[in-house]
A and B are shown apart, each in its own frame.
Chain A
Amino acid sequence: MPIFDIDFETMPREGLEAIQLRRLQTTLERIYATVPFYKETYDKAGIKPTDIKSLDDLRRLPFTTKQDLRDNYPYAMFAVPMEQIVRIHASSGTTGKPTVVGYTKRDIATWAELMARSMSAAGATNGDIIHNAWGYGLFTGGLGAHYGAERLGASVIPVSGGNTKRQITIMQDFKPTILCGTPSYILHLAEVADEMGVDFKDLYFKSGIFGAEPWTEEMRQELEAKCNLKAVDIYGLSEVIGPGVSIECVEEQKGLHVFEDHFIVEVVDPDTLEPLPYGEPGELVFTSITKEAFPVIRYRTKDITSLNPTPCTCGRTHVRMNKPTGRTDDMLIIRGVNVFPSQIESVLMETREVAPHYQLEVDRIDNLDTLTVKVEIDETSFSDDIKGLQAMEAKLSHDIKEHLGVSARVALVEPKTIERSQGKAVRVIDNRKL
């Protein structure tokens, strides 16, 4: 398979590391001068950008967390004036306030470059037609893939999410050859296609690029069998750039190459925060070294995985991260949307009608993630009016959709029926087998 940027993607480690150090130093100098958060944090830690003389010195720098980004909502982490910002994206956070990220013109070009590399790694060329089923909007998936496909010179169909039957008709008529989307949605789409009597073998796909939610090897086998294509995993998060931080190559489909000329990746022990050697699982941490508008230094992703330095048959020299296996927090990803139990709690508290005894139950029904929010009824919220109780369920469901952007079924349950372990309510029951 062709490699989009052969020089950088197959660069020997010594050269790559020299570039990383130079870019890291430049980034640090710049953010120390322009972002008050970094200056204050580094001053407090007694460290100056000039103290970073080797890649190993990176571990001396403090971490950046989601909380730090939230404290600087919306624009205080931007390292350039607004005149240079050309795009804003956002992702949901624990308190209802999203995390806002900005891009300069060059950042958008960098991101498009990384997505073009990713699509190449999945086997795409400028001759391909890309069916992009990631949502277009504040979420980085849709537009990220869109610009990457154009950078590659491929033809992109900006389908976005939803309207599954129309998507299938487009697949039949427009003959796309590369499929992008969240894996659970694509499995759902495959089932709808099956009901419509459409066989993927009669379609034209060769590869599928799936991500924005965790998925397993079993799901890969199912996706490949049902959709008749090669499935590769893509990883990214808006705080770092969006999709295109790392991707599997179609040759091995075993671990995601991190684009190390743009990001320095570490895995740290979530308790001691000490960097771990290759192969040991821990929390994934990224430092961006080429971004202008929104650089992050040692950003803690809360994703758990390990790194694999073994040379890859595809020729790329960039280290691979294994598929993330879990999270250090209680974040759920439902149909690509990040959901924290605390967000649901604040919606429930706002209505003041129900006690904050609740439980989230996540299932995968017909390959589509469904969220049920069970809420215990109490004397103040109970009335013998069935319509009133149903209206309460409907209102809560509406408010959750409004605040979190995710559809949930709300079910009132009897008091004290939500399982409590050692007095503490069990907030999440995830029945999806991941």
Chain B
Amino acid sequence: MMAEQISIFIENKEGRLAEVTAILRDAQVNIRALSLADTTDFGVLRLIVNDNDKATAALKKEGFTVGKTQVLAVEVTDEPGGLNKVLDPLCEQDVNVEYMYAFANPQCKNAIMIFRFDDIDKAKEILAQKDIKVIDGKELSGL
């Protein structure tokens, strides 16, 4: 049920992001989604890729610090209020979103949202009760 995201520490230096994507390209890794959170000095790049192990090995070889985080990938319907359907029940039961980012599902019109929750197990439970589709890691890699 859970998906694994890799995160990379990068300093805010010109061209650093492009270096990361070039390393992944050379390792034949496909990036599904990406989000960059940054401060004045540094940023954390979060990635969903088709092959975590290959990506991690390639980045570490180039001296990057790579972390792994459990996230939930949720399909959000392409209609008004689609995101609220997901967030409202979670919010009611005090599950908080630490961060989220989205990408389009290449197989249909829906969007896939990547969520990091403060309580991932509770979030999973609530989403299951509400019949909201959570995409597992394997399916995500295969998209």
Do A and B pair up? The answer is yes
Docked CA distance A336–B128 (Å):
62
Report yes or no: A414 in contact with B9, Cβ–Cβ below 8 A: yes
Report yes or no: B46 in contact with A412, Cβ–Cβ below 8 A: no
Q: Which of B21-29, B59-67, B88-96, B134-142 contacts A (4 or more CB under 8 A)?
A: B59-67
Q: Which of B34-42, B74-82, B104-112, B119-127 contacts A (4 or more CB under 8 A)?
A: B34-42
Contact partner, B41, options A379, A383, A385, A411, Cβ 8 Å: A411
A interface size (C-beta, 8 A): 18
Report yes or no: B44 in contact with A412, Cβ–Cβ below 8 A: no
Tell me, yes or no, whether A378 is within 8 Å of chain B by CB.
yes
Contact partner, B69, options A379, A384, A417, Cβ 8 Å: A384
Kindly name the residue among B9, B66, B67 whose own CB sees the greatest number of chain A CB atoms within 10 A.
B9
Residues of A close to B65: CB separation below 8 A: 377-379, 382, 414-415
Report yes or no: B39 in contact with A390, Cβ–Cβ below 8 A: yes
Report yes or no: A416 in contact with B37, Cβ–Cβ below 8 A: no
Tell me, yes or no, whether A312 is within 8 Å of chain B by CB.
no
Q: How far is the CB of B36 from chain A (nearest CB, A)?
A: 10
Q: Which residue of B lies closest to A385 (CB)?
A: B98
Docked CA distance A415–B64 (Å):
7
Residues of A close to B41: CB separation below 8 A: 393, 411-413
Q: Given A377-B65, A384-B67, answer yes or no on A413-B44 (Cβ-Cβ < 8 Å).
A: no
Tell me, yes or no, whether A11 is within 8 Å of chain B by CB.
no
Residues of B close to A383: CB separation below 8 A: 7, 67
When A and B form their complex, what is the total count of cross-chain residue pairs whose Cβ atoms lie within 8 Å? 50
Report yes or no: B44 in contact with A414, Cβ–Cβ below 8 A: no
Docked CA distance A377–B37 (Å):
17
Report yes or no: B46 in contact with A384, Cβ–Cβ below 8 A: yes
Report yes or no: A414 in contact with B67, Cβ–Cβ below 8 A: no
Docked CA distance A417–B42 (Å):
13
Contact partner, B44, options A378, A384, A393, A415, Cβ 8 Å: A384
Q: Given A382-B65, A382-B67, A414-B63, answer yes or no on A389-B11 (Cβ-Cβ < 8 Å).
A: no
Tell me the dominant secondary structure on chain A's binding face.
Answer: loop
| Residues of B42-71 whose CB lies within 8 A of A | 42, 44, 46, 63-67, 69
Contact flags (1/0) for A108-135 with B, using CB distance below 8 Å?
A: 0000000000000000000000000000
Residues of A close to B64: CB separation below 8 A: 414-415
Tell me, yes or no, whether A386 is within 8 Å of chain B by CB.
yes
Q: Given A384-B67, A384-B69, answer yes or no on A377-B9 (Cβ-Cβ < 8 Å).
A: yes
Report yes or no: A416 in contact with B44, Cβ–Cβ below 8 A: no
Q: Which residue of A lies closest to B41 (CB)?
A: A411
Report yes or no: B63 in contact with A386, Cβ–Cβ below 8 A: no
Docked CA distance A145–B79 (Å):
76
Docked CA distance A131–B63 (Å):
54
Q: How far is the CB of A408 from chain B (nearest CB, A)?
A: 14
Contact residues on B (Cβ < 8 Å of other chain), bracket: 20 to 34
Tell me, yes or no, whether B102 is within 8 Å of chain A by CB.
no
Q: Which residue of A lies closest to B37 (CB)?
A: A386
Q: How far is the CB of B75 from chain A (nearest CB, A)?
A: 23
Tell me, yes or no, whether B2 is within 8 Å of chain A by CB.
no
Residues of B close to A393: CB separation below 8 A: 41
Report yes or no: A417 in contact with B46, Cβ–Cβ below 8 A: no
Tell me, yes or no, whether B97 is within 8 Å of chain A by CB.
no
Q: How far is the CB of B99 from chain A (nearest CB, A)?
A: 8
Q: Given A379-B65, A384-B69, answer yes or no on A417-B39 (Cβ-Cβ < 8 Å).
A: no
Report yes or no: A386 in contact with B39, Cβ–Cβ below 8 A: yes
Q: Which residue of A lies closest to B7 (CB)?
A: A384
Contact flags (1/0) for B1-19 with A, using CB distance below 8 Å?
A: 0000101011100000000
Docked CA distance A399–B99 (Å):
29
Residues of B close to A384: CB separation below 8 A: 5, 7, 44, 46, 67, 69, 116
Residues of B close to A417: CB separation below 8 A: 11
Q: Given A382-B9, A386-B37, A386-B39, answer yes or no on A415-B63 (Cβ-Cβ < 8 Å).
A: yes
Q: Which residue of A lies closest to B68 (CB)?
A: A384
Kindly name the residue among B10, B11, B38 whose own CB sees the greatest number of chain A CB atoms within 10 A.
B11
Residues of A close to B66: CB separation below 8 A: 379
Q: How far is the CB of B71 from chain A (nearest CB, A)?
A: 9
Q: How far is the CB of A410 from chain B (nearest CB, A)?
A: 9
Interface pairs (25), CB distance under 8 Å: A377-B9, A377-B65, A379-B65, A379-B66, A379-B67, A382-B67, A383-B7, A383-B67, A384-B44, A384-B46, A384-B67, A384-B116, A385-B44, A386-B44, A389-B9, A390-B39, A393-B41, A412-B9, A412-B41, A413-B11, A413-B41, A414-B9, A414-B11, A415-B64, A416-B63
Q: A386-B44, A411-B42 are in contact. List 12 more A-B contacts (CB 8 A).
A: A378-B65, A383-B67, A384-B67, A385-B44, A389-B42, A390-B39, A393-B41, A411-B41, A414-B9, A414-B10, A415-B63, A415-B65
